[in-house]
Amino acid sequence: MSEDLAELARLSEEAGALGEQLHLARGELDRANGERVRLERAAGVAAGRSALADGTARRDQSIVDHLATMRYRGGDTGATRAAVLAESPRDLVDRLDTLRRLSGATTSALDASRAASRDAVQLREEAARSAAEARDAARVAQERTDALARRTEEMRVRMDEVRRRVDALSDAQRDLWIGGPVVPEGYVAPPVDDVNSAALRVALSRLGAPYSWGATGPSEFDCSGLMVWSYAQEGKALPRASQAQAVAGAPVAMNDIRPGDLVIYFPGATHVGMYAGDGLVLHAPTYGVPVRLEQVDAMPIHGIRRY
């Protein structure tokens, strides 16, 4: 490969890696926004509970104040006063009974008021914490949104440069860029015996489809988008980014690899393909190169995952 094509391959690999990082960043942004919404709702609930507790505390305090006023207006200063004012034994019994009831009611109301006040303070603090957490979550979400916008623009610039260079290739250079036939001679697809091999059959139906950054089918794909689309046709959801695909599923050793397993490439897990049997991997390589089959070890393998 000429120096120009080698440089183009490097730029293309960097652009593809940045694209996969953006898929991952979008997932993180979605989670951050989900956490922000959850915390904002929790803050609203906490504020409502705090307001209710404040109302309860004010109500209970008003009861205490009312009972105290009743005792004052009734001239009630204790059992001795009741005995002095009683006009008969029966009147004394009634006065003492009233005194006991007012004392008990005042004590109960006072206890309730104190408890309600404590609850109100605790719930106000809880509401304040929830509101602060919601503000922090909103700040994190905004920071990630801003970072994503910057990285998206960076990716656009790099991808435009790759497109410009690929589109300017001569016919001979383009043949070298594509790197051979889409399907090696003699390849036979393995039989379908599980969801993974069924997903491979789906992916094989897209051999020759053009590469497009950020595309998830059905007519154009990037590397991880092809994996997502193929498995989705069999009812199985995969993470969007190759880095996320590299940690989900179950790890598989090379000597146990089966058709349909995902093969993750490069140290940063920035590219992915699907094992197609016969030592071949099916993948969407880069701009200007269609979905194709090539040797599974054509790129540095980061890991293998089974879904």
Apex 224 CA angle, 218 and 229, nearest 5 = 30
Residue showing tokens 């790890």: 251
Which secondary structure element, helix H or strand E, spans residue 282, and what is its range?
A: strand 280-283
Strand partners, 295: 280
Strand partners, 277: 280
Tell me if residue 223 is catalytic: yes
Q: Are 302 and 48 in contact (CB under 8 A)?
A: no
CA 258 to chain centre: 30
Q: Which amino acid is at 280?
A: L
Tell me if residue 271 is catalytic: yes
Rg of the chain (C-alpha set): 36
Q: Which long-range contacts (CB under 8 A, 24 or more apart) does 128-136 make?
A: 129/46, 130/39, 130/42, 130/43, 130/45, 130/46, 130/47, 131/43, 131/46, 131/47, 133/39, 133/42, 133/43, 134/36, 134/39, 134/40, 134/42, 134/43
| Residues labelled catalytic | 223, 271, 283
